[in-house]
Structure formats: structure tokens, C-alpha cells
Amino acid sequence: MTLLERCVGRPASELAEFTPEQLLELTKQASDALATAKANADLVDRAVDLRYGRQAASARLAAGKDTGTVRLTDGVVRISVELPKKVEWDQARLGRIVERIRAAGEDPAEFVETTYRISETRYGAWSAAMRSSFDPARTLKAGKQIYRLSVMEDES
């Protein structure tokens, strides 16, 4: 039984008392288990797609749909197959359309949602004076901390 398997169900506060070497081993084992589980899930997903993908495409075609959900049955198993819609807009073309709407005296906000973004790389390269103009519109939220454990190399 692995160290990770022996730790299942134990509180994190208890694991925090482990030695650094044990925490390193737990990190490695958890990472390996996650990679294995992902590979297994991908394998099963591919098998399900091979078995039902064509049927789902035919059912979608028969229903006159390019995307959306179709339902299949195979014996006692009911299979719901969703093909989500993923729309991407050409930003440059939308910008030109918005300008034409504005030039015609209409309010583009009635037709188009506008989102502004600034890359952190560009923001960081600006002068302090330039950044200060944008700072009131900027909110920085911290993500989840990431810990990477590894064995220290012998420095001798």
C-alpha cells in the first residue's frame, strides 16, 4: 500500500506534520495517480466516442441540428450526447462593424457587447504615469497557491 493510499481520509492538518520527504513522496504519488486517472478517463472517452460518435452525428443530422444534445439507447443504457456550441468572433471585423453602426448614428451597445482587456505584460511595461490612469479599473485577485516539491541537489 502506498503512502498516498494510507493517507486517504486523513485530515490535511495531519499530513502537514509529515516530514518534507514524506510530503514530496505524497506529491509525486498524487501527481502520478492524477495522470493515470486522466489517461484512463481519456481512454474510456475515446472508446465511448468510437462506439456512439457516428450514431450521435446521424441523430443530430436527422434532427436538423449542427450542435446540441441527442439521446441514444443501447440495450438498457441511455446515452446523452452533447455537442456544445462554441462561437468565436473575428474581433477586427466586429470592430469595423461597430464603427459603421456608430457612423450611422446608432448606439453599438444595442447590438454588441464590448469587453476590454489589457495584457499584464503590456501593463507592466508601461510607465508609472500611464499605469496610474488605468489602476482604478484594475483588480488583482490572487489564485490558488501552487507548491512544487523536489529533492535538493547536493551543492558539494
C-alpha cell at 145: 497557491
Q: Hey, which residues does 69 pair with through a beta bridge?
A: 82
Phi, psi at 15, each rounded to 5°: -65, -30
* pTM of the model as a whole: 0.67
Q: End-to-end alpha-carbon separation of the chain, Å? A: 36
Residue 81's beta-bridge partner residues? 70
Q: Can you give the pLDDT at residue 87?
A: 81
- What pLDDT score does 149 carry? 66
Percent of the chain with pLDDT over 70: 96
The residue ranges of every structural domain in the chain are 11-84, 88-137
Confidence of residue 156 (pLDDT cuts 50, 70, 90): low
Sequence-distant (≥ 6) Cβ neighbours of residue 93 within 8 angstroms: none
pLDDT of residue 3: 95
Q: What is the mean pLDDT of residues 18-28?
A: 95
Q: What is the mean pLDDT of the chain?
A: 91
Given a cut of 90, whether residue 12 has pLDDT beyond it is yes
pLDDT at 16: 96
